[in-house]
Structure 1
Amino acid sequence: MTALTTAYMTENCERHIPNPAIPKWNQSYYFNFYDRQAKLGGFIRFGFMENVGETNGFAIFFMDGKPLFTRVNMNLPYTQDRPDGGVTVAGVRLEAVRPLQTCRITIDTEDFGVDLSWDQRFAMGDSIVPGNQDDAIARELAYIHLEGACDVTGTVRLRTGQTIAIKDAGFRDVSCGPRNWAGVQHYRLAWPIFDNGMSCVAVHAITEQGEGYQKILHDGKRWHHIGRVEEVIDYEADEMGFRHVHWKVWDEDDRLWEFTAKPLFRWQFPFDSFVMVEQMMEYRLSDGTIGYGMGEGGFRFPWEGNGN
C-alpha cells in the first residue's frame, strides 16, 4: 500500500485514495458561493466513505434568502469515482477540469439546472497541521483539509425558464482522512472571503481528543498560519443557528483580523446522531470591508451544548 504522506494525499486528493486500515476513512469535496448581484448562492458537498460502503452528498441553492433547490442524500451506495475523471452523486456531477485549479459542477433536471465553475484565485492551503497542539481535530475529522477562495462563474436555470448568470466568489475544500462525527461534540467555523482579497478559515472544534482548530488565512498575497482565535457566537432561540458572530484572529505576524457577520440563509444537514447547521453570512471587517461566506455549527446528539 502506498504511504499516505501529506504530500501524496495533497497531490492525489482529487483521485481515489484507499485506506482499509481506518473504518471511517473519508474523501470529501465541498463548494459554496454567493453572488451578491443575484442574491443567489449554494452549498454543495460530495462525501465518500469507502470502508463503510457509503456515499453522501447535498446540493442546496437559494435566492433572496429562500430555497431554490434542495437535494440531500446522506446514505447512498458507495462509488469509487472521484473528481478526476468525473463523479455523479444523485444527479449532481463534479469534474476536475484542471487538477487543484478548476472544478465544474452541473445539475440538469426538468425544473432546475446548474453549470458552474470554481477557479482557484491562488494555490490551496492546508488548514490542518498534524502534530502541533491543535492536532486533536485531525485525529477525528481529516489528515489534510485543503482550502481555497475561488472565482465562481456560470449559470443557474430556474423552473420558470429564467437563466441567471453567476459571477462572484466562493470557497471550496478537499478533505482526506478519518471522518468520525461521533467523536466530535461541537464545532463552529467562519469561512469569509472579503472584497480586499483576504480570506480566512477558522474552525474551533471540541472532540473526544480535546479542543482543536483548523486555522489558516490568506491576506491576498500568501497563506498565513493563524496563531490565536477568539470568537463570540450569538445563537438563535433553537441554540443552533447563528444570529450574529464576532471573530478575532491573529496571524503569524501578530496582525489582528477582526470581523462580524449576520446570516443571509440557513439550511440543516443530518448525519444520524450529528447535525451541521450551515449558513451563508454577510461578513464585515473592522474597517468596514464587506465579505461573504459560510458560517457553520456542528452538534452531536444527545444534546451536549453549543460551546457557549
Structure 2
Amino acid sequence: MSEQTSDEIVVVLEPEDEYTHVPDEAENYNESMYLNAFDIGLQGGGWFRLGNRVNEGYAEMTVCLYLPDGRVGFIYDRPKIENNDRMSAGGLTISVVEPFEHLTVEYSGSVCLLDDPSEMADPRAAFRNNPMVDCTVSLDYRGVSPMYGGKPQYADGREVEVEAGKSFAKAHYEQHCSVTGTITVGAPDSGGAGTVMEIDGLGLRDKSWGPRYWQALTWYRWLPMVFSDDFAMMLSVIDRGLDRDGVPRDPAASGMVLVGDEYHKVLDCRIDADYDDNGEQTTMRAWAKTAEREYEITGEVLSMIPLRNRRTTPDGEQLHTRITEAMTRYECDGQVGIGMSEFLDQVVDGWPIGVPAPV
C-alpha cells in the first residue's frame, strides 16, 4: 500500500462529528441536521431540519409533514440562538443517543395545515389563509447502514479551504435508518379533525457544517429513497455553474446504494423528470451505475410543497432560490419504495433555471 502524501485529500468522519462543532468565523456558518421518515403502508411521513446560523444569531427550523390524505403540515421559523451548543430551537430538538447508531427527533409546537400545499409558493398568503394546528413528533432513528461521507481534509490534517460566499458546506454525511414513533397533527379528540401517524418505517438523515448560502449552487436534484432495511438509495446530481475561468462545469453525479449491510458507491447517475405548468416535478426516471451493476428507477410524486429562500447581496441584488419538496413513490427491481425528490433551482427571470422553459 502506498503512503499518503500531504496533498492528498481524504474524507474523515469521527463519532464526535455527530455533535455540534466550534463555528467557523464565516458569517454564514451553518451547522445542519436533516432527517426524513416515511411509512410506505401509510403513504405518509415527513422531514425535519435544524440549521444553526449562530454567527447570524438564529437557527433555521423546519417541520414538513405529509399526511396520508394529501394534506401537508408545514412550519418554518428563525428562532434566535446564542451559541452552537446543541441542535434545539423553535420547539424542535434533535438528539444523539449513540453516534452513528441512534438519534431522536422531538417536536412540540404548531404547523400550518394546508389542504392545497401548492399555496406555500406564496408563504405569507398560505400562513394567512390556512389554520395553525397543534403538532407533536416523537421519533427514534436507528442506523441500518454504514455512514456515507464526512469531512474532506488533507492527509496531514490540514483543512481544505472553502470560499464562504460560494460554499454550500465543507463537510457532509448521510445514513439510512429505521424509524419508529408517532406524529400527531391537530387534536385527535376534536371531532376527527386530528391525524395520528404511527410510524414504523424507514428514512435518511444527513449532517453538514460549514459556510452555506442556498444560492451557492445553480441547481440540484436529490433523491433519497428506501425500499427495505437492506435496499435503499440516495442519488444526487449537482450543477455548480461556471468555474473560475467562466466555463460551465459538467453536473456532478454522486450517491450510494444500500445492498444488504453495505453501501455501493454510485459512479454515475442521471435524473430526468417531467414537470407541470409551474415547473414542479411530477414523475421521474433515474439511472444509476455502481461498480457492481446498473439500476433503473422510476418515481411518482405523491405530495408536493414548493418552498423558497431569498437573500439580498451586499450590493443590493435580490436572489431567489426555489426548493420543491415532494414525497415520492419509487419503483426499482420490482420493489416499491418511498422517499423524497428535492429539486433546488435558482430562479432567473421568474423561472427555475434547471427546468426546461415552457414552450
TM-score (norm 2): 0.73
Residue matched to 1:206: 239
Alignment of 1:159-198 (within 5 A): 159-161=187-189, 163-195=196-228, 197-198=230-231
Query: Which of these residues, 278, 281, 287, is aligned with residue 328 of structure 2?
Result: 281
Superposition deviation, residue 290 in structure 1: 0.9
CA distance in 1, matches of 2:153, 2:106: 34
Instruction: For residues 10-31 of structure 1, give each alpha carbon's deviation from its aligned partner in whole angstroms, at most 9, with x where no partner exists.
Output: 4332322134343422211111
CA distance in 2, matches of 1:262, 1:233: 10
Q: CA RMSD in A?
A: 2.6
| Equivalent residues of 1:130, 1:143 under 8 A apart | no
SS of 1:76 mapped into structure 2: coil
Residue matched to 2:170: 143
Query: Which of these residues, 261, 286, 304, is aligned with residue 266 of structure 1?
Result: 304
Name the amino acid aligned to 1:186.
W
Residue matched to 2:267: 227
Residue matched to 2:113: none
Residue matched to 1:237: 277
Query: Which is higher, the Rg of structure 1 or of structure 2?
Result: 2
- Per the alignment, do residues 37 and 10 of structure 1 end up closer, same or farther by CA in structure 2, a change over 3 Å counting? same
- Per the alignment, do residues 104 and 25 of structure 1 end up closer, same or farther by CA in structure 2, a change over 3 Å counting? same
Alignment of 1:1-308 (within 5 A): 6-7=11-12, 10-73=14-77, 75-81=78-84, 87-109=87-109, 111-126=134-149, 140-158=167-185, 159-161=187-189, 163-195=196-228, 197-208=230-241, 209=243, 210=249, 211-239=251-279, 241-253=280-292, 255-272=293-310, 273-285=320-332, 287-302=333-348, 303=351, 305-308=353-356
| Equivalent residues of 2:22, 2:84 under 8 A apart | no
- Per the alignment, do residues 81 and 23 of structure 1 end up closer, same or farther by CA in structure 2, a change over 3 Å counting? closer
Superposition deviation, residue 72 in structure 1: 0.9
| Equivalent residues of 2:52, 2:84 under 8 A apart | no
CA distance in 1, matches of 2:201, 2:276: 29
CA distance in 1, matches of 2:287, 2:240: 22
- Per the alignment, do residues 81 and 100 of structure 1 end up closer, same or farther by CA in structure 2, a change over 3 Å counting? farther
- Per the alignment, do residues 190 and 301 of structure 1 end up closer, same or farther by CA in structure 2, a change over 3 Å counting? same
Superposition deviation, residue 231 in structure 1: 1.9
Instruction: For residues 240-277 of structure 1, give each alpha carbon's deviation from its aligned partner in whole angstroms, at most 9, with x where no partner exists.
Output: x2111111010123x10110010111122322121211
Superposition deviation, residue 293 in structure 1: 0.8
- Per the alignment, do residues 102 and 45 of structure 1 end up closer, same or farther by CA in structure 2, a change over 3 Å counting? same
CA distance in 1, matches of 2:328, 2:151: 23
Instruction: For residues 42-96 of structure 1, give each alpha carbon's deviation from its aligned partner in whole angstroms, at most 9, with x where no partner exists.
Output: 11111112333331020011212533532111x332343455xxx3221112211
CA distance in 2, matches of 1:19, 1:31: 22
| Equivalent residues of 2:11, 2:153 under 8 A apart | no
Instruction: For residues 204-224 of structure 1, give each alpha carbon's deviation from its aligned partner in whole angstroms, at most 9, with x where no partner exists.
Output: 111144333342222223112
SS of 1:282 mapped into structure 2: strand
| Equivalent residues of 2:37, 2:179 under 8 A apart | yes
Question: How many residues are matched?
Answer: 291
SS of 1:141 mapped into structure 2: coil
Instruction: Point out where structure 1 has 5 or more consecutive residues left out of the alignment.
Output: none
Name the amino acid aligned to 1:176.
W
- Per the alignment, do residues 246 and 121 of structure 1 end up closer, same or farther by CA in structure 2, a change over 3 Å counting? same
CA distance in 2, matches of 1:304, 1:62: 24
CA distance in 1, matches of 2:137, 2:44: 12
TM-score (norm 1): 0.84
Superposition deviation, residue 163 in structure 1: 4.2
Superposition deviation, residue 140 in structure 1: 2.9
